Structure 1
Amino acid sequence: MTVRVRRAVAADADAAGAVFLACWHRSYADLLPPRVRARYDEASAAALWRRVLAAAPDGVLVAEVTGQGVRAVTRFGVDPDDARRGHVFSLYVHPDAQGLGLGRTLLRAAAEELRAADHATATLWVFAANHAARAFYAAQGWTPDGGTRVEEAYGEPEVRLRRNLSEGDDSTRRRP
């Protein structure tokens, strides 16, 4: 299996939408109520990612797997609550591709991009009940910083995680 991480382009909207939709409906089946998950179908998911890619093309990376196409996507940029910090807005790995290291690879690449943009720390939000994602992020050095929220659109509690991106932190460096 060969994995290629690259900056997303407009033509990736459908593939990113498909990864997002698979996560939304399968990975979040026990986390979000059906009425919330029903907001997105194939067309609306692709439209969402077309808007994302048009608005912030430099802040989206995809992971392609040879013979399978785009199997994971991450969106990152400046933390909307504090411009001194970076922020990972989303990380989606197709449920059929989980466990291949794609999430770890994309998260590391996003952290490197944020560090290169002079952010010493980064944040992200995760559903409080998403224990698998929280364990994944913890293994990558992301820890709760006390921030919590419930977005009206989802109605589920979230916790904010924070990560030190300093040069001395080798877990964000690419490994050979």
Structure 2
Amino acid sequence: MTVDDCARVAEIRVRGWQHAYRGLVPQSYLDGLDVAADAARHRTRLLEGDGSAVNLVAETDGGELAGWAAFGPYRDGDRRTGDAELYALYLRPERIGRGFGRTLLTEVVHRCAAAGHPRVYLWVLRDNTGARRFYERAGFAADGAEEPFEVDGVEVPELRYVRDLAG
């Protein structure tokens, strides 16, 4: 991902949230998501971040951005482990089911394994059954950890998934 991709990635992320989380988080929150503000955050992270997060994009044959994934060190407060975490994976809603998500996730897993991470974690909304099935088909499994995630005053629980990379 480059700085020039930030606006398109922000559109993918915002539209991805609005599609995937409809009925799971308050509609008022989804309606209030702002592509321009999200693009500005992406630009700032790329230009001023510490470089620990990796952002990947998937393109169609015609050069359209179809999806985006971000990963890096596992975030557990101030505690650092050797593990990796998939922070985000979003697709244009019309590109779901066409292999772009699988391609992005495969590349994330490959890069994490090549970097020597023993595991890769991710968090997924408990009630997002489609995403949970997608990750389970890719070898991830819920490990029993659950955390509250608050969106506009509504608690939306997240489950942690893990995939072992060793072996």
Contact 1:71 1:94 in 2 (8 A): yes
Q: How does 1:75-154 map to 2 (within 5 A)?
A: 75-81=70-76, 82-153=80-151
Indicate if the aligned counterparts of 1:9 and 1:57 stay in contact, CA closer than 8 A: no
Aligned counterpart, 2:26: 33
**Structure 2: unaligned runs, 5 residues or longer:** none
- The question of whether the paired residues in 2 share the 8 Å contact of 1:25 and 1:37 is answered with yes
Q: Which moved more, 1:38-47 or 1:153-162?
A: 38-47
Q: Distance in 2 between matches of 1:19 and 1:68?
A: 14
Q: TM-score scaled to structure 1, two decimals? A: 0.84
| Unaligned ranges ≥5, structure 1 | 1-7, 169-176
2:160 matched to which residue of 1? 160
Q: 1:20 to 1:152 in 2, by over 3 A?
A: same
Identity %: 31
Matched, 1:19 2:12: yes
Amino acid at match of 1:28: Y
Alpha-carbon shift at residue 58 of structure 1 (Å): 5.6
Q: What TM-score comes out, normalization by structure 2 length?
A: 0.88
Which amino acid in the other structure matches residue 53 of structure 1? Answer: L
Q: Aligned partners of 1:101, 1:30: CA distance in 2, in Å? A: 25
Give the partner amino acid of 2:162: R
Residue identity in the other structure for 2:66? R
Q: In the alignment, is the contact (CA less than 8 A) between 2:52 and 2:72 conserved in 1?
A: no
Shift of 1:45: 2.3
Q: Which residue of 2 aligns with 1:3?
A: none
Cα separation, 1, equivalents of 2:144 and 2:137:
18
- Deviation for aligned residue 1:120: 1.1
Secondary structure, aligned partner of 1:148: strand
How many matched pairs? 160
After TM superposition, what 4+ stretches of structure 1 lie above 3 angstroms from structure 2? none
Deviations 1:25-50 (A, max 9, x none): 12211211112213412212212322
CA contact 2:60–2:66 (8 Å) conserved in 1: yes
